[in-house]
A and B are shown apart, each in its own frame.
Chain A
Amino acid sequence: MQVRNSFKLALLKQMLLGFQLSAVSSNSMSVPERKNAIKLSADAAMVFARGSTRWTRGLVAGLSENSNNEDLLRGILGKKYERLSLPCRSSWKIPRSRKILKRCLGLCSRRKKATATQHDVKSGSTLARRLVKKRIQVLKKLLPGGESMAGFSLLDQTLDYAVSLKAQVDIMRRLLKISKASNLNK
């Protein structure tokens, strides 16, 4: 699964804008300050490129918690900043999401070729269910805004987030490569 090139271009542009706004190439910044500015630029750029979805709102909310970040966030996101900061309607009721999770579990175990006995199936599935619950708690912490998601939307947003992260990594790698190359020519 891949993002479109227009996504990557928007990511790159906004990230570079962020670097410029926070003056990363100036000598007055400390090393941790510079790194934070770069990371913040990369995240805000990723949000800009993706637009409004639950994880991007979660990420903006998280980044906004530090008031020092506000200027750079506004600079990179522009009008999107206000829109992304609005509370979103939660349209999924939790009970329905639990049912979906059970169906996911069912579909997953059906994909396995199981030849378990009746006893195995019962204790196996209780253990599996507990394990799945545990992993889901972990996933919720990894996904921005994940704590308020459940079931299908949690997995769907996870996929969306992971694909966007991969694009962010890709752009940063390429930027690093180009920067190294041009530095050598000095």
Chain B
Amino acid sequence: MPIEMSSRRSRITDEEINELISKLQSLLPESRRRSTSRASASKLLKETCSYIRSLHREVDDLSDRLSDLMSTMDSNSPQAEIIRSILRS
């Protein structure tokens, strides 16, 4: 998945850069993609930063909600058993 750079290779081709740019573009959710269809570098960077920030917020929010739920979980629940069996495999 990542484009690995060997330290022996000294030239990064235009093609690789283009590939990277279009991958970054395709990463962005549909709604943001439209505004970057003209692909100005600063717009792409702005949307990428904004996307990463939104993912950070989601993780934070999900951690909150999971912690609320976990507090009411007891170790004898069927869910705990599922967790134990996943960990055993």
B33 to chain A, nearest CB (A): 13
Q: Pick the contact of B42 from A31, A38, A111, A135 — CB < 8 Å?
A: A135
A104 to chain B, nearest CB (A): 6
Instruction: Assess the B3–A156 pair: CB atoms within 8 A.
Output: yes
Instruction: Assess the A1–B23 pair: CB atoms within 8 A.
Output: yes
Instruction: Assess the B86–A13 pair: CB atoms within 8 A.
Output: yes
Q: Does A3 contact B (CB under 8 A)?
A: yes
Instruction: Assess the A42–B63 pair: CB atoms within 8 A.
Output: yes
Instruction: Assess the A139–B2 pair: CB atoms within 8 A.
Output: no
A158 to B78, CA, bound (A): 39
The number of chain A residues touching the other chain, given as a range, is 35 or more
Instruction: Assess the A108–B67 pair: CB atoms within 8 A.
Output: no
Instruction: Assess the A38–B66 pair: CB atoms within 8 A.
Output: yes
Q: Pick the contact of A175 from B16, B66, B71, B77 — CB < 8 Å?
A: B66
The number of chain B residues touching the other chain, given as a range, is 35 or more
| Smallest CB gap from A41: residue in B | B63
Instruction: Assess the A53–B67 pair: CB atoms within 8 A.
Output: no
Instruction: Assess the B2–A172 pair: CB atoms within 8 A.
Output: no
| Smallest CB gap from A100: residue in B | B12
Instruction: Assess the B1–A160 pair: CB atoms within 8 A.
Output: yes
Instruction: Assess the B83–A156 pair: CB atoms within 8 A.
Output: no
Q: Does A48 contact B (CB under 8 A)?
A: no
Q: Give chain B residues whose Cβ lies under 8 Å from the Cβ of A42.
A: 59, 63
Instruction: Assess the A162–B27 pair: CB atoms within 8 A.
Output: yes
Q: Give chain A residues whose Cβ lies under 8 Å from the Cβ of B72.
A: 183
Q: Give chain A residues whose Cβ lies under 8 Å from the Cβ of B56.
A: 142, 165
A34 to B73, CA, bound (A): 13
Q: Does A94 contact B (CB under 8 A)?
A: no
Chain B proximity mask over A107-145: 1 for CB below 8 Å, otherwise 0: 111011100000000000000100110111011001100
